[in-house]
Amino acid sequence: MGSADGLKQTDNWISRSLGTPVTTALNVIGVSYYMTVTTLGAILEWFVILPELSRALGVSAVSLQLLLLYLFVNAMGNYLLASSCDVRLKKRRRISARSANRYPMIPFRAHYCKVCDQCVLKRDHHCFVLGKCVGYHNQKYFIYCSLHTALVSVYALLTTAMYMHVSFRTKFWGAFTFFTLLPSSIERWLLGLAGLHELLLVLFLYICLTGALAGLGFFVWHMFLVVMGLTTHEAINGERGTDTSIWENFTDTLGKYWLLGVLFPVPLPQYGSGMYEGITKLPINHQD
């Protein structure tokens, strides 16, 4: 029995020892990927794709570039707001035993993150692209970032596809094109029928497609959570949310000035404290 406990402790120690550098590396990779791909993609669009596309279509390059700039600033701005926001559960003042029974020291929606090594208010999940957890104070920025990442990715996807059609006569036959475009492009490059720059543009198309699907997926999922008054942790574990209305759930996460946050990447005040003091959590067997 003792040897089994000792072996379990050894396994836990090994997991913690190996987990720290691995998760740190994943954080670095995720942050570096988003920052690098988004920035380099915007530069490629600004200086190469949009000017050539504007000449081919007979439209103003400035208008195309300004739309790109708006989407890029919103995506990157909300990313920086989400990644720099303090999501920790701060130490609370000493309270009486009677108050402690009513308002626990650790709110029911706060959870410990092994990667961040801290307790996070209304913890939803750890995001390796942000390099930190998504919680009460930065979830709105994560949602806005997901939305604008999807929009700027779709914009880059469409303009790059149009640019390739104009410059290389690349044919696009709807969504099914992406099942064959990369293999055929690699084959053409190996045979010397296409240049490296054309192959890199094809890879950029797939990166844009991935960004659009991921951004849209996170946006839709988190808006569902907002409406239902849930976190990802609660949804996965079959837990119920709080006995609050849809509008209360909406403003609790996105705040009163949510429309301003959708349009511009600005730091906005939060509606509540994230402690959910006095809020009742619905039982698992609750019937609507």
Looking at residue 106, its pLDDT comes to: 67
**Which tokens sit at 264?**
């511009």
Looking at residue 237, its pLDDT comes to: 85
Distance of alpha carbon 115 from alpha carbon 30, whole angstroms: 14
**Which tokens sit at 133?**
């957890």
Looking at residue 190, its pLDDT comes to: 96
For residue 31, which of 126, 97, 100 has the smallest C-alpha distance?
126
Rounded to the nearest 10°, the torsion over CA 120, 121, 122, 123 is -10
Looking at residue 31, its pLDDT comes to: 96
- 31, 130 contact by CB (below 8 A): yes
For residue 97, give the 3-state DSSP assignment: helix
Looking at residue 281, its pLDDT comes to: 57
- How many C-beta neighbours within 10 Å does residue 214 have? 15
Distance of alpha carbon 34 from alpha carbon 131, whole angstroms: 11
Tens digits of pLDDT across the chain (288 residues): 444 444 444 444 444 444 578 888 999 999 999 999 999 999 999 999 999 999 998 999 999 999 999 999 999 999 999 999 988 876 554 444 444 444 455 677 788 898 888 899 899 999 999 999 999 999 999 999 999 999 999 999 999 999 999 999 888 887 788 999 999 999 999 999 999 999 999 999 999 999 999 999 999 999 999 999 899 988 988 877 677 889 999 999 999 999 999 999 999 988 776 766 555 555 544 444
Distance of alpha carbon 151 from alpha carbon 68, whole angstroms: 10
